[in-house]
Structure 1
């Protein structure tokens, strides 16, 4: 039976992560069976990666990104390009000491940065307007991230455990200087385990902790809906979103709504920890109040327009119950 409890749970997160990696391993085995004799590839090496994935080894988000492109290319019948992608896939190695933290231009990402950047955007034909941070920005943000994780581990250990289980790589980026697009952070089911963060935003530990709660919650939802989507609305149907100025598909609004409840929970746990300074307490309270407004706005749209699947109903109800339990 699926476990859709609202509060973070590190053990559940580890099981979800293992399941996602197992599914990728099984899919690679299926691909090998289908292309055998049609495309040249090292079958022993591919089977080794598939086996290690099924054992739960933490291959990086780029492994999932290559797989995403490989499937698209195979479905298009472009076997020559697929052979090159398979060769890239066989070069992938598991990540150690997770979550690994690196700027977009890190040698760790050199071969895959452009592909991953492309997958972060909603339009595959348009370059997503993010780039690598400077060395100074990288160093400052890395230090702040370390302090934020220490704060989280001491105040909300269950959330820290969930994040450590779900996130294998944190990729630091900054917005392109020529773009007006605002980017705080993001993740994608096509790059499981990867979290992109704007290293120029989140200028204090409270804001950074909240965005970590935000983005890891998206990752958890990706894991929750591995067998069934959350909503059955078409992506062509657009509705007002609580967190965006532009209309969004219902799946995005559902995500934003549930995630707002998780952010509220995180701020509430911080406030109740007794470990915040007065300025931090005031900031966390302000964030928490905004999260409640965003949840209620989003929930109203979901309630009125969403075509919820059984999974979608089962996931949203505990979030609704939590928000109903908090004081007005």
Structure 2
């Protein structure tokens, strides 16, 4: 379940989308899926296998969720007016579809061996989470990074860089937490190595050379300040001496 830091602790609100808004947002979702298919065909193919329905809702706090008890379905809140809708839906579709994919992997075999009662720092939520939650958050963030990177290469639109930087920072923070405290099966360890290799590849992106890491920005969800300090630190540590 995805919510903003500002909304943590508040009660979720779910409301029906008006008919006028529904038709508008269905079109935005279709455009988002089309762009995913063009830029990230592997994700779109996976989506086509796993996802059977998207339900849109209006409301507050929760932006999207799925659950293994309703496998194949995702619920997405329509974005507030100041957020560009297609980019919003691309990220949230990838986010929830990745949860669904990871749930499928976990149904096949165990990945995490940590005690469910232990709590750790999540890269995308302010409350301490079990390792299962931290791993889920880090895994889906890694896929958002992949999607944004593929969109950047496909469109050459450098306006995607702030969102990519934020997501990459979240990925790095999640990876550091799970690599430090996680206990995994052999298959789980292979997924951690994939995250490590993805982070190493991110440091090679030439666009970072001209990216301003120090200018304050609003987070892409619009409710708190952007945080890219870990990404900047990672890039600096990767520079040759």
Specify the SS of the correspondent of 1:170.
strand
| Partner Cα separation in structure 1 for residue 125 and residue 77 of structure 2 | 17
Residue 51 of structure 2 is aligned to residue 167 of structure 1: yes
The equivalent of 2:191 in structure 1 is 315
The equivalent of 2:21 in structure 1 is 137
Contact 1:229 1:309 (8 Å CA) reproduced: yes
| Partner Cα separation in structure 1 for residue 32 and residue 167 of structure 2 | 20
CA RMSD of aligned residues (A): 1.9
Contact 2:98 2:143 (8 Å CA) reproduced: yes
Contact 1:232 1:307 (8 Å CA) reproduced: yes
Structure 1: 5+ residue stretches without partners: 1-126, 177-181
Residue 71 of structure 2 is aligned to residue 187 of structure 1: no
TM-score (norm 2): 0.73
Structure showing greater Rg: 1
1:233 deviates by 2.0
| Partner Cα separation in structure 2 for residue 153 and residue 299 of structure 1 | 27
Aligned pair count reads 192
Structure 2: 5+ residue stretches without partners: 1-10, 205-234, 236-241
Contact 1:228 1:309 (8 Å CA) reproduced: no
**Equivalent residue runs for 1:111-122 within 5 Å:** none
CA distance 1:311–1:131, change in 2 (3 Å)? farther
Where has structure 1 moved over 6 Å in runs of 4 or more?
none
| Partner Cα separation in structure 1 for residue 164 and residue 197 of structure 2 | 17
Contact 1:225 1:311 (8 Å CA) reproduced: no
- Which of 102, 107, 130 aligns to 1:226? It is 107
Specify the SS of the correspondent of 1:233.
coil
- Which of 271, 275, 278 aligns to 2:152? It is 271
| Partner Cα separation in structure 1 for residue 67 and residue 45 of structure 2 | 20
Residue 166 of structure 2 is aligned to residue 285 of structure 1: no
